[in-house]
Every structure is written in structure tokens, then in C-alpha cells.
Amino acid sequence: MKQIKLIILVIYIFVTSCQSQEIEITKQPTDLPVKISISKSYNDSTIVNIMLPQKLLVKNGSNKTRLVQTRLSLSGANIYGEKGSRLYAFKDSLVFPPYKQIFSENEKQVFSLYASYQTYLTDKEKNQLLKGSKLVQLKHKKEVYDVNPLIDVNKIISKKIPDSLKGFIRFSLYDMPLDSSSYKNIPIEF
């Protein structure tokens, strides 16, 4: 009987010691401005990408983990973006989101990301958003502006991007020692 208890104890210790602490992703407050990119202009409207800032703190657990991919998912599942909806990272300018990156044990890292939604704006809405805005980048021959922080962007955004299309930032992760994949969905809020 003692041997059985001892064997069960050893198995329990072995199993619990092999489990990794999962990677933890939390939202952080950000002071980055909303960005707008002009895609195509028509007589009375314009196709734009409205880019909303998201700042995330990633804390790795006890195992070496590889970030396979970071995407904007409108449903939280493996379904990615409507036409024009994308995710960008921000490092002095808009770049592709992080991928193929390895986190060491107990590593912490902050990601500044932009969730981009393509929509139509009337000329009046476009002019309202661009009033006092600053041109900061040319990306794929498209002008990218920092929207003036004094403008109430949420009023326009809430009309153009319903709650059902806000979506998630989806992290695809691979735990190297355990040879297992996992996903983290972080809801986008604005």
C-alpha cells in the first residue's frame, strides 16, 4: 500500500512539474493616436482604413514559447479579416505584426499594435477627421495621418464599425518543450 501511494505521489509530482505556465497577455493603456489611411476617393465619399491603437503586455511562463503569428480575427476563430481589415505593429511607423518570434522563459514584452478597419466615409466625415491631423507616413503609396486627439473619433467609429466587427487580436503560439500549439484571443475595445 505504501508503494502505491509513493508511486501515485511521484506521478503527481512529475505531471505537475511538466506543466508549463501559460503565456499571459493583458491590455495596457496607450497614448498612441488613432490613424487614418486614405485608400481611394470618389465624388462624394472616400474609402479609408481607420486604425485603432492597442497596447498589449505579453508575459511568458516557464517554457520557451514561439509566437507563430499575430492576426486580426473578426470572429475569434481561425477566420481572418474582412477585405481591408488588418493588424499592424507600430515601431516609429506601421509595420507587419509580430511573428516567428521566440520568448524566453519568464520574458515580458510590450506590443503596440493597430487594428485597421476599412470603411467608407462621406466627404464631411473625412474632412472632420483630417482637420488638424498630421501626415506621418506613406504606406504602399497611401497617406497615413495621425488624427488630431481633440477630435471625437469614437462618434464616427461607433457608426462605422459595429460591435460585431470589432474582433480579436489572435496570437498563435507554440510551446517548444511540450511540442504543443495554443491560441490567445484578445478582444479589441475602443
Decide if pLDDT at 20 tops 70. Answer: no
**Sign of dihedral through CA atoms 56, 149, 137, 72?**
positive
* DSSP letters for the chain: -HHHHHHHHHHHHHHHHHPPPPPEEEEE---PPPEEEEEEE-SSEEEEEEEEEEEEEEE--SS-EEEEEEEEESSSSS-B-STT-EEEEESSSEEPPP-SEEEPTT-EEEEEEEEEEEEEEEHHHHHHHHTT-EEEEEETTEEEEEPPTTS-HHHHHHHHS-GGGT-EEEEEEEETTTTEEEEEEEE---
pLDDT digits (tens, 9 = 90+) for 78-93: 444 456 678 888 887 8
CA–chain centroid gap for 110, Å, is 11
Burial class of residue 80 (count of CB atoms within 10 Å of its CB; 0-12, 13-18, 19+): middle
pLDDT digits (tens, 9 = 90+) for 22-80: 788 999 999 999 999 888 889 888 988 899 999 999 998 888 888 888 888 876 554 44
**Sign of dihedral through CA atoms 151, 82, 111, 141?**
negative
Q: What is the pLDDT of residue 79?
A: 45
Greater pLDDT, 111 or 159: 111
Decide if pLDDT at 152 tops 90. Answer: no
State the pTM of this model: 0.79
Q: What is the pLDDT of residue 12?
A: 58
- Cα separations in angstroms, 167 against 36, 51, 132, 146, 188: 19, 13, 29, 23, 6
* Domain locations along the chain: 21-187
Backbone dihedral angles phi then psi of residue 154, each to the nearest 5 degrees: -60, -30
Specify whether the CB–CB gap between 20 and 178 falls below 8 A. Answer: yes
Q: Which of 92, 19, 57 is nearest to 171 (CA)?
A: 57
pLDDT digits (tens, 9 = 90+) for 104-148: 888 899 999 999 888 889 999 888 889 989 988 887 778 899 998
Which residue carries 475569434 as its cell? 76
Altogether, the residues listed in the chain come to a count of 190
